[in-house]
Structure 1
């Protein structure tokens, strides 16, 4: 295996055509554009993506858990146990995968041996307080661009608090994040 400098990707050399394996984790507060970015990457790279919200609702509706959509902290621990093993399986099978959702813990790196980490790229989408204050109505209007939300009763204060929490945690854990401050342009994102 050969590491490609600067890309965090492993080139698999098995005698046949080399493959690049990449897992992309996309997280952030509600309404930051996680699903939109995953859709853009699907079109650009042809990588499949998994919506953690779909997994969550499938497990809840099928009765596999008694947790509800409002049990955020408990859902993060519950879903991450499943997601981390799916990610390991994808890497072991040399399959690319995008995982998007808010249920990715900030200490996610602790779940993987050193051999896995170079193949996982993490990005957290964060909106600044000034961006939210200036664009709140746009944020709410675009909340249904990719997915149909049943409820859109998020307040500006909640949105600011959630984004500030994500920023604090990204800084605390040294995680990559994309700050949406001036304009909303995911094309400027790392990918």
Structure 2
């Protein structure tokens, strides 16, 4: 089984991946780690701020890693914001049968009421570079993510009142 976890920054993708790792003992790939490895090694001139270009650059690599894992009957958790909303177009039905995807989305209401708490937990699993991710930018990013999820028929978890992610933790 391949678990894909996408969503905007700070929504808890890495925390959910860690929970799945602990429950199923499946390895997981942080697309951020791949991104930083390629940037730091000089394999690309892109920077961490080049989000759209990074998706175009990273997704073909990650997509083929997913196909290889499926072909070898291996389990894998992949998390990151560089999974395109139309990712299903890149896989045949045979591959899609082995892929579970969810996109984590904060509602505008949740962000307005919990912004300080969200920022407080941004380093729960990984230490993040200190940058200004304003409430307004977070709202904009999550609104865009929600719109794109609906447009492309992606499964999503809309976090509106409380942060309680239990996706697939009891399904397998």
Q: Taking structure 2 as the reference length, what is the TM-score of the superposition?
A: 0.96
Which residue number in structure 2 is paired with residue 129 of structure 1?
Answer: 108
In angstroms, what is the RMSD of aligned CA positions? 0.8
Which residue number in structure 1 is paired with residue 30 of structure 2?
Answer: 51
Distance (whole Å) between structure 2 residues aligned to residue 177 and residue 140 of structure 1? 21
Counting only pairs closer than 5 Å after superposition, residues 132-151 of structure 1 correspond to structure 2 as 132-151=111-130
In structure 1, which of residues 19, 24, 39 is the aligned counterpart of residue 3 of structure 2? 24
Which residue number in structure 1 is paired with residue 56 of structure 2?
Answer: 77
Mapped pair 1:165 → 2:144 = yes
Unmatched tracts of structure 1, length 5 or more: 1-21
Mapped pair 1:179 → 2:158 = yes
In structure 2, which of residues 31, 34, 42 is the aligned counterpart of residue 63 of structure 1? 42
The runs of 4+ residues in structure 1 deviating greater than 6 Å are none
Helix, strand or coil at the partner of 1:186:
coil
Higher relative contact order (CA 8 A, sep 6+): 2
Larger Rg: 1
Cα-to-partner distance string for 1:126-170 (whole Å, 9 max, x where unaligned)? 010111000000000000111101114100000000000010000
Report if the CA contact (8 A) 1:109-1:117 is conserved: yes
Q: Taking structure 1 as the reference length, what is the TM-score of the superposition?
A: 0.87
Report if the CA contact (8 A) 1:140-1:152 is conserved: no
> How many residues were matched structurally?
169
Give the deviation of 1:63 after TM superposition: 1.0
Distance (whole Å) between structure 2 residues aligned to residue 127 and residue 86 of structure 1? 29
Distance (whole Å) between structure 2 residues aligned to residue 126 and residue 142 of structure 1? 16
